[in-house]
Structure 1
Amino acid sequence: MSVPQRSAPPIDELRKFYVGRSINEVPKPAVVLDKTKVKKHCDSLLKAIEALGVEFRAHVKSHKTREGTQLQAGETSKSVKLVASTIPEIEHLVPLVYEFQTAGRTVDILYGIPLLRSQAQRLAAIARQIAPSTISVLIDHPAQLDHLVEFASSAGFPAGVFIKVDTGYHRAGLPPAGVNKDDLITRLIQLEESGQADFIGLYSHSSLSYSGSTPEQAMRHLQGEIYGCLAALRQHSSSFGTDRELAISVGASPQVTSVEALVGTDKLSDEAEHLRQIMHGISTNQHAGFRTKLELHAGVYSILDIQQLSTQCRGAILGEYEDEIAISVVAEVCSVYNDGERNQPEALLAVGTLGLGREPCASRRGWGAIRRNGTKLGSNLENRLIIDRISQEHCIIAWDKPSEDGMVSPIPLEVGDSVQIFPNHACVTGALYEWYLVVDSESEDDQNIVDVWIRASGW
C-alpha cells in the first residue's frame, strides 16, 4: 500500500552539493548532527544495558534516520528492537532491516501509538515485505482489536501486541487497574488463540522524568513505571492465561539513561541499589505467576538537547552543551543592535519557530542556546547567548544573564556571521528539516560536512 510522500533529493545529489563544505558556507538555516557524539551516547547506553542483562528497544523518532538507527542498534546483539512514531519512519528503515536480517539478526519494530484503523493495512504491507514477527503494535481500547484483525487478514500473519499502560503521564494507555477495559485482555487472548494477534506484554512510556533534575528522580520515575506494569499483571492475572512469558517495556530517555549509574561501581546510592534489585527481580522472579523480562526503551538520548541535559539524569557524567549535544541549527546573523537601539544589546538571526521549534525548557530561559566556539563566543564562561525571543522565521539573541553592575556587554557578533544553536527539544527541531548535515567532532575541523543523513518525513 504505497502512500505518496514528500521526498528528499537523491542522496548522491545531496552529498555532491554538501560534503566537503563548511556548515558556515551552506544555505541557512540548516540542521547539523555530530555523528561522533551520537555514537558516543549510543555506545554508552548499550554498554550499560548489556551489563545489566536487560533488553533494549531504541526509539528512532528523534532522528528518523537509518544511520542513527544503526548506531542505536549497535553491532553485537542478535536481536534488534526498535520503536517508531510514524509509518514513514518504518518504511524508511526497510533497507536497514534487510541488512540486519542478512547479518542473522532478528528485528522487531513497534509502531509507537495505539494502532490506527487507517494505518492497519499500510503497516501490514510493510510487514509482508520484511517477514512475520517483525511488526508490533500498541492497543489501549477494545475498538482497536478490530484493527488487529484487519492487520492479520491483510498481512497473512498476526502483529505482536503490547497493551499500553498509563503509569501516571496520562498521554496514552489504561491505568493498571483498568487494563481489562470491556474485557480487552480476554478478547485479545481469544484473538491470539485464533492466530490474529501475538500478545507480547505491557508497555509504558512516561516523560514525567523530563521535569526532574537529579539521577535519583529519574530512577524513581523508572521504578514507578515498573511498579505500575507489575500492578496491572497482579490485578488481572486470571485474564492473561497461564504458562507464558510477558515483557515489561518501560522508559523514556532520562530514566533509562540514569541506569548507567548502576554499572561500573560497587558503591551505589540507596536509590540506585533499590532500582538495580527491582530490575534484576523482573528477569529472575515470577510475578503473578508469569515469567517476566524487562525491556527499556528510549530515543532522544542518542542526540540530546537542552531539555535532556537539564534533567541531569546522569549526574556528573555529562559535560557542557558543546561536549554532549549532537544536534544544532546553523543560522546567519542578519543585524546587530549594540549601539543603544534597545534596552540591552541584541542581534537578529534568520531562523525562527519554523527552524527551531517553540518548545520551552522548564529549567532554562529562552528557546535555544548559542554554541560557544572560537574567540568571539568562548571567552565569557559565566554567561551565554540564548534565543531570547522567537518569531516565525527570525529570532532575537541576547545574553542569558544581565550583568550585576547593569552594564551589559555588546553582542560579540557581526552581520553575516554564522552561529550554531543548541535547541531545547531535538525531536521537534529535527522534524523541521528533511536531512542532516553531518559533521565529526573528532576530525580536525568539526564544521566540515562529512556526510548527509536523510530523515523520514510525512505521515
Structure 2
Amino acid sequence: MEPPQPPARPLASQEELKRFYLGKHIDSVPKPAVVLDIAIIKRHCASMLEAAKSLDVGFRAHVKTHKTPQLARLQVGEESTECNFVISTVLEGETILPLLKDLQAIGRKVNVLYGIPLVPSQVTRLAALARQLGEKSISVMIDHPDQLNHLTAFYNVAGVAACVFLKVDSGYHRAGLPPAKLNKNGLLERVAEEERVGRAVLLGMYSHNSLSYSGSTPEELMAYLAEEIVSCKEALKQNMHLLPKDRELVVSVGATPQVVSVNNLLQGTLSREAQALKTLLHDSDPGISAPVKVELHAGVYPVLDMQQLGTNAHRTGEAEKEIAISVAAEVCSVYNNDERSRPEALVAAGSLALGREPCQSYPGWGLVRGYREGSSRLIVERISQEHAIVAWEKGEAKIPLQVGQTVGIYPNHACITGALYGWYLVVDSSQAEGSKIVDVWPRPTGW
C-alpha cells in the first residue's frame, strides 16, 4: 500500500499554458514573466556533458534551479548509461519522476540524491520515490549518526536500502564534517551496521563548496575544486579502516563555477592549477585501499545568472551569450528631464519578480539586456516589492527607454528568481524569431 502523500500546490496545466502562450511574442504577454532561452541552455548542457566525458569523470545534475523534467532531460543528455541527479526538495524528485521512469525504461541507471542532511518529515516521501524506482535509486546525505535512525522507516516504506553519501566539509561550513572528524560519535560504525542489516549502501563522499562563488579567475575556481577533492580523499584516507574496500567509492564534488572551470583542462597547454586538478581527478593514493571515482555536480550552469557571470568561469563573459534566464518587464515611466538628480526609469518588476540577491561583481539587482553606454551598463539600481528603478551603472546619460516598452532583465540569482513563478516561457535565440514563445514549462513552487 502506497503511503499517503501530503497536499501540494498543483502545477499549471501545460496544455492550457500552451494554448495561451505558444507562438506569441514576449512583448505581447502578461508581465512580469520569466523567460528561458533554449538555445543557450542546450549549449551549456552539451558543453558540461562533453567535458565530463572527455575527462572521464562522473556527473550529477542538480535540478533545484529549474525544477523541470524538460531541462533535467537535457542535463543528462542521451549517451551516458548513468543518470545522476541532486534535488533540494522532495517535490523536485516527485516532479521529475515520469522522466526518471522513462530513463529507466530505456536501460539507463537512475540515482537521485536528496541534497541536504536527512530530516524526518521527508523520509516517507523519499521512500515512496524509491519504492517506485527500485534499488539504488535514492540517496541520502548523512553527517550525523542520529540521521541514520530514519533509515528503518525509509526501508519499511521503500522495501529497498537507501544509498548514502557522507557529507564532507571542505571549508564552506554549511553542512558536513571535516575529514578528521568524519567518524563523529561512531558514525562510520553505524553506517556499516545499517549496511549489514540491508538498510543502507554507502556510495561515497560528497562536498559542496560555494566559496567558489567569490572567485574571479579560472585558476581560483580550479583551486577550490581541487581543495574539495583533496578533502574528500583525505576523509577516505583517514577512515579507510572503517570503510568498505570491495567496491568503488565516489568522491562527488563541485558547484557551478568550479565545474564550469574544468573546461580549462581540455586545452592543449595547461596552467599549473589546471595540471594539478587534472592529475587529482584520476591519481591513486596508497592510503586509500579502494577504487575511487570522481563525480562532478552542478546546478545553475544551464541558465547561469549575474552571480555566476561574475566568477569569470565562462567562455565569453557576455551576459547576452551566456545567461539563458531573464525577466520580461514593462517600463512604467521614464525620468529624463531633470525630475531627479540623474536620469532614471521605473519598471514594473521588483523583488517579487527578480529576487533580492546582491552580486559582488556589480552594484545592481539585475542587468537590463542590450543597453551599454561606453563602459557603463543599464542596471536595476534600486528595488522595491513590485517595482524597480533602472539607471546607468556609471554616468548620467538619458535613459534610452520608452513608457510601455518591454525589457529583459538578467537576474542575480536564477534559483531565487525562478522560484517566484509557476512556469517558464521558452524562446529560441537560434531561430529567426528569437523572441517568439516556442514552449512553456510548468514548474513547482514550495516543498
TM range (shorter): over 0.9
The partner residue of 2:376 within 376, 383, 389 is: 383
Shift in Å, 1:245: 2.0
| Counterpart-to-counterpart distance in 2, 1:221 and 1:111 | 23
| Counterpart-to-counterpart distance in 2, 1:66 and 1:28 | 24
Deviations 1:139-180 (A, max 9, x none): 111110111221112111111000111100011111111111
Deviations 1:217-259 (A, max 9, x none): 0000001001111111122121214333211000000101111
CA gap 1:287/1:432 in 2 versus in 1, 3 angstroms? farther
Q: Supply the AA of the counterpart residue of 1:86.
A: T
| Counterpart-to-counterpart distance in 1, 2:223 and 2:230 | 10
| Counterpart-to-counterpart distance in 1, 2:228 and 2:30 | 44
Q: Give the corresponding residue for 1:392.
A: 385
1:274 matches 2:276:
yes
1:94 matches 2:97:
yes
| Counterpart-to-counterpart distance in 2, 1:67 and 1:119 | 24
| Counterpart-to-counterpart distance in 2, 1:262 and 1:358 | 35
Q: Give the corresponding residue for 2:347.
A: 349
| Counterpart-to-counterpart distance in 1, 2:87 and 2:316 | 27
CA contact (8 A) 1:89 1:457 kept: no
CA contact (8 A) 2:12 2:422 kept: no
Shift in Å, 1:266: 2.2
Shift in Å, 1:382: 2.6
Q: Give the corresponding residue for 1:237.
A: 240
Q: Give the corresponding residue for 1:441.
A: 429
The percentage of aligned residue pairs carrying the same residue is 54
Structure 1 residue matching 2:261: 3-state secondary structure:
helix
Structure 2 residue matching 1:301: 3-state secondary structure:
coil
Deviates more, 1:239-248 or 1:153-162: 239-248
The partner residue of 1:365 within 345, 363, 366 is: 363
| Counterpart-to-counterpart distance in 2, 1:202 and 1:409 | 53
CA contact (8 A) 1:29 1:330 kept: yes
CA contact (8 A) 2:354 2:417 kept: yes
Deviations 1:51-91 (A, max 9, x none): 00000001111111111101100100111001010011000
Q: Give the corresponding residue for 1:458.
A: 446
Q: Give the corresponding residue for 2:398.
A: 410
The partner residue of 2:320 within 316, 319, 322 is: 322
1:123 matches 2:126:
yes
| Counterpart-to-counterpart distance in 1, 2:363 and 2:369 | 15
Q: Give the corresponding residue for 2:190.
A: 187
CA gap 1:48/1:286 in 2 versus in 1, 3 angstroms? farther
Where does the alignment leave 5 or more consecutive residues of structure 2 unmatched?
Answer: none
CA contact (8 A) 1:286 1:292 kept: no
TM-score normalised by the chain length of structure 2: 0.97
TM-score normalised by the chain length of structure 1: 0.95
CA contact (8 A) 1:2 1:122 kept: yes
Structure 1 residue matching 2:207: 3-state secondary structure:
strand
Shift in Å, 1:457: 2.0
Q: Give the corresponding residue for 2:67.
A: 64
CA contact (8 A) 1:125 1:154 kept: yes
- List aligned pairs for 1:201-220, cutoff 5 A: 201-220=204-223
Structure 2 residue matching 1:340: 3-state secondary structure:
coil
| Counterpart-to-counterpart distance in 2, 1:192 and 1:150 | 15
Deviations 1:374-417 (A, max 9, x none): xxx46x35321100000111110000112xxxxx2111111111
The partner residue of 1:21 within 8, 20, 24 is: 24
Q: Supply the AA of the counterpart residue of 2:298.
A: A
| Counterpart-to-counterpart distance in 2, 1:110 and 1:447 | 36
Deviations 1:104-148 (A, max 9, x none): 111001111111111111110111112221111101111101112
| Counterpart-to-counterpart distance in 1, 2:270 and 2:385 | 47
- List aligned pairs for 1:154-303, cutoff 5 A: 154-263=157-266, 265-281=267-283, 287-303=287-303
Q: Give the corresponding residue for 2:309.
A: 309
| Counterpart-to-counterpart distance in 2, 1:449 and 1:172 | 40
1:426 matches 2:426:
no
CA contact (8 A) 1:116 1:144 kept: yes
Cα RMSD for the two superposed structures: 1.2
| Counterpart-to-counterpart distance in 2, 1:449 and 1:399 | 30
Q: Supply the AA of the counterpart residue of 2:290.
A: F
Q: Supply the AA of the counterpart residue of 2:437.
A: I
Q: Supply the AA of the counterpart residue of 1:357.
A: G
Q: How many residues align?
A: 444
| Counterpart-to-counterpart distance in 2, 1:303 and 1:241 | 38
| Counterpart-to-counterpart distance in 2, 1:241 and 1:92 | 34
Q: Give the corresponding residue for 1:405.
A: none
Structure 1 residue matching 2:352: 3-state secondary structure:
helix
Q: Supply the AA of the counterpart residue of 1:200.
A: L
Shift in Å, 1:287: 4.5
Shift in Å, 1:426: 0.6
Q: Supply the AA of the counterpart residue of 1:347.
A: A
Deviations 1:313-335 (A, max 9, x none): 24xx2241011100000001111
